[in-house]
């Protein structure tokens, strides 16, 4: 299942067709997702204590993952998901524009593209302790 929590998705079929929302929960075993503001159901809750009252609660029900499609942040279109490797990790990619959909690796992919443009040699780092030792060696002993 390629859809994860906090992804923006578009509902393709059913009563809520065309509605976009954020994924609140994903259940890979059942291949279902809970989308914010989609598939609203009413649940009756009975009073369990003497000072409580019975009430009707509205909540989102899970819908099958085949009925939603992920929305790319960069191009804003609903798209299928491709896979590629960035820094040795498999990441999800938009098939329409090629943008990285995994937010954690989107920044890394951007940085690697910038560093390829700026091919500078890294600065040599020295430890503080070694600087002190060098200064002690240079000072004459009396």
Cα separation, 86 vs 16, in Å, equals: 35
> What architecture (CATH level 2) is domain 1-44+54-71?
Roll (2.30)
Non-local (6+) Cβ contacts of 79 within 8 A are 69, 70, 71, 72, 94, 95, 96, 97
Q: Which of the pair, 39 or 87, is modelled with greater confidence?
A: 39
d(CA 46, CA 52): 9
> Does position 45 have pLDDT exceeding 90, yes or no?
yes
Name which of 21, 9, 4 is nearest 60 in CA terms: 21
Q: How far apart are CA 22 and CA 20, in angstroms?
A: 7
CA–CA separation, 1 and 105 (whole Å): 18
> Would you list the domain boundaries of the chain?
1-44+54-71, 80-118
Average pLDDT taken over every residue of the chain: 84
pTM value > 0.75: no
Q: What is the pLDDT of residue 32?
A: 96
Q: How far is CA 58 from the centre of its chain?
A: 27
pLDDT of residue 103: 77
Question: Alpha-carbon distance 141 to 82, whole Å?
Answer: 68
**Cβ pair 33, 3 in contact under 8 A:** yes
pLDDT at 134: 64
Helix (H, G, I), strand (E, B) or coil at 107: helix
CA atoms within 13 A on the CB side of 52: 8
């Amino acid at each position: 299942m390629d859809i994860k929590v906090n992804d923006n998705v578009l509902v393709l079929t059913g009563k809520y067709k065309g509605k976009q929302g954020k994924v609140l929960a994903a259940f890979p075993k059942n291949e279902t997702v809970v989308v914010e503001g989609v598939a609203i159901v009413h649940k009756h809750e009975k009073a369990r204590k003497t000072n409580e009252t019975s009430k009707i609660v509205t909540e989102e029900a899970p819908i099958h993952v085949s009925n939603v499609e992920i929305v790319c942040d960069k191009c804003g279109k609903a798209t299928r998901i491709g896979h590629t490797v960035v820094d040795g990790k498999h990441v999800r990619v938009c098939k329409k524009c090629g943008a990285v959909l995994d937010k954690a690796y989107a920044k890394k992919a951007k940085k690697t593209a910038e560093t390829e443009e700026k091919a500078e040699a890294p600065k040599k780092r020295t430890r503080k302790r070694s600087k002190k030792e060098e200064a002690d060696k240079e000072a004459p002993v009396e």
